[in-house]
């Protein structure tokens, strides 16, 4: 996969890279402390990333989440909950690492998402 991918094309590729499902409003995708076996792509809707009852950030479509625990081999640091109905794609850990190795623009996208999230969460309130 040596083609140059735009961000839109990457999300399109990711939409076909795993198992697609619709999560109903309030549905929990994963819980804080759970073992990480996948990352997720939001194709439509939004997913709240929560610590207890506090929403720390919201991932809007197109967006991704759950990648951090795959990278640092840790348990989930937050709970992911659908805000309204959300269509997501679950990308298993093995597929994630194949994408990282074979599609450098995907790795760049993941790093950009993580950097933006860190900036957002470190801004003074």
Q: How high is the pLDDT of residue 51?
A: 96
**Which option is the CATH number for 7-122: 3.30.450.20, 3.10.105.10, 3.40.50.450, 2.60.120.10?**
2.60.120.10
- For residue 22, the cross-strand partners are 87
Does the pTM of the predicted model rise above 0.75? yes
Kindly provide the b/e burial profile for residues 27-48, where b requires at least 16 CB atoms within 10 angstroms of the residue's own CB: eebbeeeeebebbbbbbebbbb
Angstrom CA distances, 108 to 8, 23, 104, 112, stand at 14, 27, 6, 6
- Best CA proximity match to 16, nearest among 69, 66, 90: 90
Q: How high is the pLDDT of residue 1?
A: 41
Q: How high is the pLDDT of residue 103?
A: 85
What is the 3-class SS of the chain, one letter each residue?
CCCCCCHHHHHHHHHCCCEEEEECCCCEEECCCCCCCEEEEEEEEEEEEEECCEEEEEEECCEEECHHHHHHCCCCCCEEEEEEEEEEEEEEHHHHHHHHHHCHHHHHHHHHHHHHHHHHHHCCC
Which residue positions in the chain have pLDDT lower than 70?
Answer: 1-5, 125
Q: What residue ranges do the domains of the chain occupy?
A: 7-122
């Amino acid at each position: 996969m040596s083609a140059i991918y735009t961000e839109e094309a990457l999300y399109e590729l990711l939409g076909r890279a795993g198992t697609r499902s619709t999560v109903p409003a309030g549905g929990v995708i994963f819980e804080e402390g759970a073992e990480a076996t996948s990352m997720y792509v939001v194709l439509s809707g939004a997913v709240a990333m929560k610590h207890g009852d506090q929403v720390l950030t919201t991932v809007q479509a197109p967006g991704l989440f759950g990648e951090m625990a795959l990278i640092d081999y840790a348990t989930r640091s937050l709970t992911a909950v659908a805000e309204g109905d959300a269509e997501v794609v679950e990308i298993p850990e093995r597929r994630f690492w194949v994408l990282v190795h074979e599609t450098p623009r995907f790795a760049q996208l993941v790093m950009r998402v993580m950097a933006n999230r860190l900036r957002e969460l470190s801004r003074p309130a």
